[in-house]
Copies of this chain bind each other. A is one copy, B any other.
Amino acid sequence: MSRPPVFDEGFSRQFEELLRWRRDVRRFKRDPVPDALIETLLAQTSLSPSVGHAQPWRWIPVAEPAQRAAVQESFSRCNADALASYEGERAALYARLKLEGLREAPVQFAVFCDHGTARGHGLGRRTMPEMLDYSVVAAITQFWLSARIHGLGVGWVSILDPAEIAKVLGTLPAWKLVAYLCVGWPEEDCDEPELVRAGWERG
């Protein structure tokens, strides 16, 4: 064990800037992202907290054109259903929102929680079994911040049918989809959420 680090006022201020400028990004440039950077970010996920130290996250890259097309189709279907659930002005506003960057983002991951893992021996999950999924969310949150440090944007797409995504990727039945992530260089940086700028809450 090395010496505990001390984080000074300057680091603390910069960390708050990081939180302030992390965004859910839906507008990406198509420029490639170096593999080594993605590998560094993924390696860091081993430092995320997890219940019983189970480390249940499974990051599956989605790169094949056929797989990406199937994800886009799932989004289109689910988004049409979502649009149909709104009425009037809200439906019009919803229809104008850009909610994903599935066509542009150069790097994409489906992130699963492995409910079949033996790691952790069930510790901490008896009364709150959802802790295993929460561990994956914590890892994604840390990945999101790490990516932003390097100028990379992350967009979390939830308007998808998890069963369709699992089928497209041929994942094990015990794996639960927690997130579908688009990763790439954002078209712009911003310190205000896109939904706030679009007036979703006001509307």
Contact = CB atoms under 8 A, between A and B. Distances in A.
Among the interface residues A81, A162, A201, which one has the most CB atoms of the partner chain B within 10 A? Answer: A201
Given A178-B134, A189-B4, A193-B53, A78 B14 contact: no
Interface in A151-195: 156, 158-162, 177-179, 189-193, 195
B90 A121 contact: yes
A121 B5 contact: no
Contact of A18 (B5, B19, B131, B148): B5
A157 to B, nearest CB: 9
A184 to B, nearest CB: 16
Contacts of A137: 134, 137-138, 141
Contact of A7 (B18, B49, B193): B18
Nearest to A11: B14
Given A53-B201, A137-B141, 6 more contacts: A1-B191, A5-B14, A5-B18, A19-B48, A121-B200, A134-B134
8 contacts: A7-B14, A19-B142, A49-B141, A78-B127, A123-B195, A128-B162, A134-B178, A138-B141
